[in-house]
Amino acid sequence: MSSAERYRALRGVQDILPPEIFIWQKVEEVAKDVFSAYGFQEIRPPIIEVTDIFTRSIGENTDIVEKEMYTFSDKAGRSITLRPEGTAPFVRCYVQNCLYNLPSPQKFFYSGPMFRYERPQKGRFRQFYHIGVEALGISDPKIDAEILSMLRFLLERLGLEGLTFEVNSIGCEKCRPDYRKALLNFFSGRINGFCPDCKRRYELNPLRILDCKVKECIKLRVGSPRVTDFLCKDCREHFDALLSLLRLLDFPYVINPDMVRGLDYYTRTTFEVTSKQLGAQNAVAAGGRYDRLVEEFGGPPTPAIGFAIGIERIVELLKSSDKLEILAPKVFIATIGASAEKEGLLIANKLRERGIWVEISYAAHSLRSQLRRADRLSAKYVLIMGDDEVSSRKLKWKRLSDGTQGEIAIDKVLEFFNK
RNA sequence: GUGGGCGUGGCUCAAUGGUUAGAGCACUGGACUGUGGCUCCAGGUGUUGGGGGUUCGAGUCCCCUCGUCCACCCCA
């Protein structure tokens, strides 16, 4: 280490390196694959937006907006924010590009980094990655069920097990105020027993009291009104229809009436997928309906539903369950002498043009040390070539796993490795 | 923002307050210049995260600070 201070990545952000990057690539590939089977197409909105987009949609009193956003002024004095989540920018993009004129449902997905200024912990970073999915134009619960089963299918395809799928309905702008009133009424006599956080929640966002993990608060909320008992007729029907579709699809859901969403824009269906193998940050995917948001962004009334999955949490699960595929070169070309070196370079090029991973030696090392390097790289085959081989136009191949070797004509090398 | 644990070569870790801070792994080369894995040998400028203090003497004790991990909080 030098005496100069070395640079390091900012707190809460990370470099993603091999071999872990291969899991990331797999997750992205499988997701793209599954989404296209359901007709979802990729879009790539920008990472920065005007700050208002987030404050208006996520809600002024949420933690995200109050203290977690990366916000700065650009050179023209506009307030700009690095996106803390994907749905609000998506809706801006949807309205701006008049995507509602496409035949409905319009189905899109996107992936990329999100930013929140939080204290890092297991499964929580300041720059974290989401794959998000949005379906618009359909209010029928069939699309809710489709989205959920697509999510389940994706997680299954990735080989994940032991996940819990929680669903709930938090009603609409018609029924939620009644529920809120009932909650406040129920809790008003118990407020003194609450933890300080819940006392604060009582004022700001009483629904969040349902989420508290403090034992006293859990006791005090026994028998509290349930959101599902306050749904209006339309929301009730929507939720019931969704549940019967899920049963039809043999979807292993659990109703969690205490599940509340932190963002203001949600309506009706909300859901969350959790794993017990993660730490406190146990959600691997979550989402819900946001039937009012497009209109609020100046578009036509457009029902919508979406979810996002947290890539690093999926990767975390796969790291412990997956046997990592070891990537290794197929061929190492070991040469002795200048003419063999040139010949070897030509062979390497031909093989590489066919997409075969070939490594060569970059200095005139002894054959021993070249073989040792091939071994350390876990190369499958070594091609050995010296003056004799060049003049006879034949070279030796050796399979490192069992040490077998043989001879092959130089112009047959392509066929040998092409299969 | 709050609380707790942990900071010693690239990694995992040793070192009662007392010589020149060690070992394993990894890495590079050699022994073995046409045959890898095994073995042996050689190769490290470590400000013991940083700063201050206590002490004859600090990796070790105290304070501050930074980083990291976990949890609270919060969250698609």
CA A5 – C1' B8 distance (Å)?
18
Coil vs helix vs strand at A268 = strand
The pLDDT score that the predictor gives to residue A18 is 80
Burial zone of A283 (CB within 10 Å; 0-12 exposed, 13-18 middle, 19+ buried): middle
| Residue A10 exposure: Cα atoms within 13 Å on the Cβ side | 9
pLDDT in tens, A292-339: 999 999 999 999 999 999 999 999 888 876 566 667 889 999 998 888
- Residue A314, nucleotide of least CA–C1' distance: B76
User: For A31, what's the count of Cα atoms within 13 Å in the CB-facing half-sphere?
Assistant: 25
A220 with A202: CB under 8 angstroms? no
CA dist A27 to A46, A68, A132, A135, A257, Å?
Answer: 22, 27, 13, 21, 31
What strands, in cross-sheet order, belong to the sheet with A331-335? A358-360, A331-335, A381-385, A394-399, A405-409
Checking if the pLDDT of A158 tops 50, the result is yes
**B73 C1' to A392 CA distance, Å:** 74
* Nearest in space to A382 (alpha carbons), one of A355, A353, A402: A402
Considering only residues 247-276 of protein chain A, which place a Cβ less than 7 A from any atom of strand B? 261-263
Cα angle A138-A135-A161, degrees, rounded to a multiple of 5: 120
Residues 152-171 of A with CB under 7 A from strand B: none
Which tens digit of pLDDT belongs to each residue from A361-394? 887 788 888 888 888 888 899 999 988 899 999 9
**Domain A331-418: CATH superfamily, name plus number:** Anticodon-binding domain (3.40.50.800)
pTM equals 0.89
Q: Please, is A327 exposed, middle or buried when counting C-beta atoms within 10 Å of its C-beta (0-12, 13-18, 19+)?
A: exposed
pLDDT at A2: 32
Confidence band, pLDDT 50/70/90 cuts, at residue A4:
very low
Give residue numbers, 303 to 362 of A, with CB < 7 Å from strand B. 306-310, 313, 336
| pLDDT score of A1 | 32
The nucleotide lying nearest A288 (C-alpha to C1') is B76
pLDDT of res. A395:
92
Q: pLDDT tens across A53-103, in order?
A: 999 988 887 788 878 999 999 999 999 999 999 999 999 999 999 999 999
Under CATH, which architecture does the A3-175+231-321 domain have? Answer: 2-Layer Sandwich (3.30)
Q: Which long-range contacts (CB under 8 A, 24 or more apart) does A230-234 make?
A: A230/A171, A230/A175, A230/A176, A230/A178, A230/A179, A230/A182, A231/A169, A231/A171, A231/A175, A232/A171, A232/A172, A232/A174, A232/A175, A234/A172, A234/A174
* Nearest in space to A181 (alpha carbons), one of A224, A213, A222: A224
Q: How confident is the model at residue A29 (pLDDT cuts 50, 70, 90)?
A: very high
Q: Is the CB of A15 under 7 A from strand B?
A: no
Cα separation of A21 and A25, whole Å?
6
Closest residue by C-alpha to C1' distance, nucleotide B34: A367
> Of residues 273 to 292 in chain A, which lie within 7 A of strand B by their beta carbon?
279-281, 283-288
Q: State what percent of residues in chain A have pLDDT above 90.
A: 58
Tokens of A2: 């030098």
Residues 379-408 (A) near nucleic chain B, CB < 7 A: 384-389, 396, 398, 400-403, 405
Task: Give backbone dihedrals phi and psi of A114, rounded to 5 degrees, phi first.
Answer: -120, 160
CA distances to A14, A274, A342, A376, A419 from A359, rounded to whole Å, are 30, 43, 14, 12, 19
Q: Mean pLDDT, chain A, as a whole number?
A: 89
pLDDT at A67: 84
Q: What is the mean pLDDT of residues A44-51?
A: 96
* Token couple for A333: 């070309």
Mean pLDDT of A161-187: 90
Estimate in Å the CA A340 to C1' B3 gap, whole number: 66
State residue A3's pLDDT score: 36
Contact A157, A163 (CB under 8 A): no
The per-residue pLDDT for A194 is 82
Domain spans in chain A, listed from the N-terminal domain onward: 3-175+231-321, 331-418
- Residue A133 CA, nucleotide B71 C1', distance (Å): 31
Average pLDDT (A221-237) is: 90
Contact by Cβ (8 Å): A251, A144:
no
Strand B positions closer than 7 A to protein CB: 1-3, 9-10, 27-37, 45-47, 67-76
- Contact flag, residue A206 CB and nucleic strand B, below 7 A: no
Q: Are strands A381-385 and A358-360 parallel, antiparallel or unpaired?
A: unpaired
Please report the ipTM that was assigned to this predicted complex: 0.83
Find, among A47, A120, A110, the residue nearest to A84 by Cα. A47
pLDDT at A259: 84
A142 CA to B62 C1', in Å?
66
User: How many Å apart are A3 CA and B45 C1'?
Assistant: 9
Q: What are the helix (H) ranges across A255-381?
A: 293-296, 311-321, 338-353, 367-376
